[in-house]
Structure 1
Amino acid sequence: MVTRILLAFFTCLFLSAPAVAASTSGSKNIFDEVDTLTCAQVEVVLDQPPIADDASVDARYLRRVFETYALLSRCALNKPTRVEFYDAVLRGMVAALGDPHSEYLNEEDLKESQEESTGQFFGIGTTLEKQPRVGAMRTLKVLVPRPGAPADKAGLKSGDIVTKINDRFVTSYKNVRAALEDIKGPRGTTVKLLVIRDGVPQPFVLTIARDEIKTEFYKTTLLPSKWFVAKIKSFEGKRVVETKMLETCLHIHSEYKKALKREPNIRGFVLDLRDNPGGFLDGAQCAVDLFATESLRGKALISIETRDGLKAHESTIDPKDMLRGKPLVVLVNEGSASASEIVAKAVQYYNLGVVVGTKTFGKGSIQIVMPLSDERTAVKYTYAQYLVGPTSAPTPVQGVGVTPNIFARARSDGSEKAAADFRESDLVGALPTSTVAKDLVIQRTKETNPALYTEIYNLITKAPFNMEVTDELLP
C-alpha cells in the first residue's frame, strides 16, 4: 500500500492536474489513498530518501505539501477536513503577500462579500483585522464600525481590540474567518465581546444584538441655515442605465435641484464623508464630477502605481458643475478611507472646496476580486496604489491620508482618542507611501479666506454637526 502510494505521488510530480486524478486506481486520487493509511504507515512515507539535489523547486515543495498533509491528516490530534486543509494552503499562498487587504475567498467568503456589496447582510456591522498578540493573546482589531449598525450603537469603536468572543479566547480560533462565524448569528440573538481600549484601565464586555445590516448609501437634507447636506455612507457602483450615472450621484443631484427650487438662495453644499470606508472607484469619480467645473474636463482624477511603474488611469473628470460657484465643504475623519479619500483629496488638488475634520485613514490601494475558474471562489489582491492627479504631478493617499484645511472633531469626553490614533499605517503589512509622489501643501482656510472660515466655523459648531474646531491645537 505505502509503496503504491509513493510511486503514485512521485509520478504526480511530473503530471498535469487532470493526470494526477487519473494516476491512481478507479476514481480515487492520491489524497484518497493517503486517507487509508495509519500514522505508522505515514512515518514510512516520511522516511523515504530525499529528492535529488538537482530536482526542481516545485518538486521539492510539492513533496513537502504531500508529506505535511499525510502527517497532519493521519497523526495530528485535531482532524480538519480535507477542504479545510486546502483552504488553509490557499490562504497561506495569499498571506505570503504580507498585505492586509489581500485574501483568498472560499465559497462562503465570496457569497458574503457579494452580499455586502449589495448593501444588505446580517451581522453586527464592523470589520475586524487580525493583529499581533497582546501578551500571550492573539487579538482582532476593530477597523470602522458601520454608522448606525449594532456594533456602533453598542459603543464599539475603531481601534478597539477584541480578545474574546462569547467567553472564547480569539487565540483558540483557527483563523479570522472562524472567529467571525461566531460573531454572526440570527437576528435578535446577542454576541459578547471582551474589549481592550486605549485609555481604559481594564478590559470590558460589550453585548451586541445581531441584526440585519442594510446600508443606506446616502441621505440628504436642507438645513435652516440654507446649507444643503449630503451624507454618503459608502460608494456603491450601481448605474442607472438611462443616464449612466451612479444611483447615489443621480439621487443627490436630483435632491439638490429640488432643494434649489424650494430655496433659490442655498448658501452652499456640505458633503459629509465621515466614517465612509470607501467602496467603488466609480462612486468617487461620480462624486468629483458633480462638483468639478468645466475647466477640469478631461483632467485626470487618479494615476496608478503598479508593479510596472506609474501609469495614467482611464478615469478622467466629466464635470457637472452642480454648485455653480457656491462653496463646497467636505467633512472627513479618521474613518474616511479609500474612495472617500480620493474625493476629499481631489477637492483639494483641484481647489473645488474646503476639507474639514481630522486626518483621514490613509488607504490608497486598489484591490481586485478575481474569480477563479470554478466561479465559486476568488482571490482578492492589491494590484496598485492610487495617486490623486495626473502622472506629471500626483499626490499620495496611502499612509498619509488627507490633511484637512480646517481641523475639527466631534465633541466627546476623550474616549475617541483610540479611534483617532488608528489608521492604515498601523495595519500589519501596510504598503509604504509611494516614493514617486509628493503630498499636497495644505492651505489653511483661516488664513486664505477668513470670511469663509468664519461661516464654516459657525456652521459646523452647531447642530447637526456639533463639531469642535481645533485649528489652534493641531499643526
Structure 2
Amino acid sequence: MPLSKFLSCCLLSSVFLTFAPLAKAQNSVETNKKEQPSDAEILAKMELFAEVLARVRDNYVTEVSEKQLVEHALNGALASLDPHSNYSPPAEFTEQREAAKREYGGLGIEVSMEGGLVKVNYAIEEGPAYAAGIRSGDYITAVAGDSVLGKDLNAAVENMRGLAGEPVTVTVLTGQSAPRDIIVTRAQVRGRAVRHRIEQGLGYVFIETFNNDRLTEDLEKALKELEAELGGTIPGLIIDVRGNRGGLLTQSVSVSSLFLDGGEVLSARGRTDIDTQRYHAEAGELYPEMPIVVLVNSGSASAAEIVAGALQDRGRAVIIGRRSFGKGSVQSVIPLQENGGALRITTQRYYTPSGNSIQGRGIMPDFLVAAQPDKGELRKRFREDSLPNSLINPDDTDYEEDYDAILYPSEDEAESVDFQLRKAIDVLKTSRYQALLQAQNQFPGQNLPKSAFLQ
C-alpha cells in the first residue's frame, strides 16, 4: 500500500476515534446529513494531507520528523479555530498530569526586598515558617547558606521553593538580635486569596486570583474582619480584580453569591441548547444594603469578568476602570484513548445574566477611569480580541471604549495616588453611586460621558 494511502487510513481512523467520544460527551443532536461531508470526501482530504506529508518527508531540504509534522499539523488546525484549542502529544500530556499531582512546597511567607535583604511581610499562620518561629517584620539574610545580598527577589527566594517535605535552612534576623539559622520543612501552602484593608472609612478587598478553592471562605473572613474594624457596619466596599486572570468557575459563582440573593450568575452555552449550563447564586446575600464598586482593567479576565458581569447585570455593583480582557470561552480536555495524548478544545461560551457574551468584548465599566495620564496617543491594550483567531462574538455591535468618556489623571496624580481607587472612593461617598446604578438600567453596556461625574 502506498504511504499516502496507508497514512490516510490511519489518520481517518484516528479522527473517528477522537471525535466519537466528543460527540457523545456533548450530547450532540443529529444534524442534516446533507451538511456533512461524505466518507469519500473526508478520505480524499486525508489522502491529500498524507501526500503532502510524504512529499515533504522525501524532498524537503533537510530531514524532518513525520511525528513532529503530524503534531504541528494538528496544532495548526486547532489554532486556526481559536487560540485556546490545542493538541498535547502523549509525553506532554503525561507530564501535564504528573505536574498537576506533584506537590511543590514553600515556606508560607510573603516577602519583598528591603536594604538588600528579604523582608517577611506576612507569615501565613498555617504555614511551616510561622510554625518554625518566623514572623512578619523578620529579615532573611541567607537561604541554604547562600547569602541573598546582591540578588534580586526572584533569585533570592529561588532556594526556598522545592518539593513538599524537604527541609531548608534559612538565616533569620529579628530586630537587634543576632542572625539565627532556622530549619523549615517545606509544605504545600495555600497563599492568601484575599488582601483587605480600610480605605478612608470604606472596606477594600483585593482578589489576586480565583484559582484557590478557599477563596470564598477567605473573602467571608476578610469581610467579617472589616466589619469589626469599622464598628459593625461596612458603609461601602471596593472589590479590586484588576490584573486578575481568573481561575475556578466554582469560586466565581460562590463569590458572586455573597452579594446576590439567588438568581443567575452566568450561563455557559455550547453548540446546541442541550449543551447550556446555568449557574445560580444561593439565596441570602451577606450585605444587601452595602454599596459595592468593582475595579477592573484590561487584565481582568475569565472568572473575574464573571463576577463583575453578574454584579453589574443584577444592579448590585458599579464597575469602574477600563474594559476587561474578554476571555469568555470554556475549554474541555479530552484524553485520546488510542493515542495517549489529549485534545483541548473550546466547547462553550460564558454569558452574563442579561444574555451578553463576554467573549472578545469583556465587561464595559459604568465609569471609564484610566490609571495613567492622557498623553494624546491611543494605546493598544492586549485583550482576547488581540489574539490570532480569537472567537468572534456573535454580537457585532460597537463595544469599544469611547475615548472622550475616559477620565484621566493628571501627571502629578498618577505618580502619587491610585487614581482609579480614588475615584471608586469618591463614587461610594457621594450621590454618584446611585446615579451610576440608575444609568446601568437606562444605558446598559454603554459609555457614559465623564462630564456627568465630574461635579
One-letter code aligned to 2:277: H
Q: Deviations over 1:263-315 (max 9, x none)?
A: 3243322211111122232121111111113xxx2x22223442225865231
CA distance in 2, matches of 1:209, 1:413: 36
TM-score, normalization by structure 2: 0.57
CA distance in 2, matches of 1:16, 1:101: 23
Q: Quick one: which of 225, 228, 235 aligns to 1:261?
A: 228
Q: Quick one: which of 239, 242, 252 aligns to 1:274?
A: 242
- Aligned-residue CA RMSD in angstroms? 4.8
Shift of 1:257: 1.6
Q: Quick one: which of 453, 466, 472 aligns to 2:432?
A: 453
Q: Quick one: which of 378, 389, 396 aligns to 2:342?
A: 378
User: Which 5+ residue runs of structure 2 have no aligned equivalent?
Assistant: 15-37, 105-110, 113-147, 149-153, 162-188, 400-405, 407-422, 437-447
1:425 alignment partner in structure 2 = 385
Q: Deviations over 1:230-279 (max 9, x none)?
A: 2222222x6xxxxxxx3111111122223323432433222111111222
Q: CA distance change for structure 1 residues 406 and 266 in 2, over 3 Å: closer, same or farther?
A: same
Q: Quick one: which of 266, 269, 290 aligns to 1:326?
A: 290
Q: Deviations over 1:96-144 (max 9, x none)?
A: 42x12211123565467668989999xxxxxxxxxxxxxxxxxxxxxxx
Alignment of 1:19-418 (within 5 A): 56-97=40-81, 99-107=82-90, 110=93, 216=191, 218-223=193-198, 225-236=200-211, 246-263=213-230, 264-293=232-261, 297=262, 299-309=263-273, 312-373=276-337, 377-389=341-353, 393-411=354-372, 418=379
Contact conserved, 1:303 with 1:310, CA < 8 A, in 2?
no
Partner SS, residue 430 of structure 2: helix
Shift of 1:320: 4.9
User: Which 5+ residue runs of structure 1 have no aligned equivalent?
Assistant: 20-53, 122-147, 150-187, 189-207, 239-245, 458-468
Contact conserved, 2:8 with 2:43, CA < 8 A, in 1?
yes
Partner SS, residue 385 of structure 1: strand
Q: CA distance change for structure 1 residues 62 and 362 in 2, over 3 Å: closer, same or farther?
A: closer
Contact conserved, 2:322 with 2:369, CA < 8 A, in 1?
yes
CA distance in 2, matches of 1:119, 1:224: 40
TM-score, normalization by structure 1: 0.55
Partner SS, residue 409 of structure 1: coil
1:51 alignment partner in structure 2 = none
Partner SS, residue 332 of structure 2: strand
Shift of 1:456: 13
Contact conserved, 2:203 with 2:234, CA < 8 A, in 1?
yes
Partner SS, residue 382 of structure 1: strand
1:159 alignment partner in structure 2 = none
Give yes or no for the alignment of 1:471 onto 2:443.
no
Contact conserved, 2:293 with 2:428, CA < 8 A, in 1?
no
Contact conserved, 1:387 with 1:437, CA < 8 A, in 2?
no
CA distance in 2, matches of 1:114, 1:371: 11
One-letter code aligned to 2:357: P
One-letter code aligned to 1:266: I
1:128 alignment partner in structure 2 = none
CA distance in 1, matches of 2:156, 2:57: 36
CA distance in 2, matches of 1:277, 1:92: 25
Partner SS, residue 392 of structure 2: coil
One-letter code aligned to 2:225: K
One-letter code aligned to 1:234: T
Segment of structure 1 superposing worse, 111-120 or 219-228 = 111-120
CA distance in 2, matches of 1:75, 1:471: 63
CA distance in 2, matches of 1:348, 1:64: 51
Contact conserved, 1:408 with 1:470, CA < 8 A, in 2?
no
Q: CA distance change for structure 1 residues 340 and 255 in 2, over 3 Å: closer, same or farther?
A: same
CA distance in 2, matches of 1:80, 1:424: 34
Partner SS, residue 410 of structure 1: coil
Partner SS, residue 418 of structure 1: coil
One-letter code aligned to 2:307: V
Contact conserved, 1:230 with 1:271, CA < 8 A, in 2?
yes
One-letter code aligned to 2:241: L
Q: Quick one: which of 422, 427, 434 aligns to 2:394?
A: 434
Contact conserved, 2:194 with 2:205, CA < 8 A, in 1?
yes
Q: CA distance change for structure 1 residues 405 and 116 in 2, over 3 Å: closer, same or farther?
A: farther
Q: CA distance change for structure 1 residues 18 and 351 in 2, over 3 Å: closer, same or farther?
A: closer
Shift of 1:353: 1.4
Shift of 1:67: 2.9
CA distance in 1, matches of 2:269, 2:396: 9
Contact conserved, 1:270 with 1:331, CA < 8 A, in 2?
yes
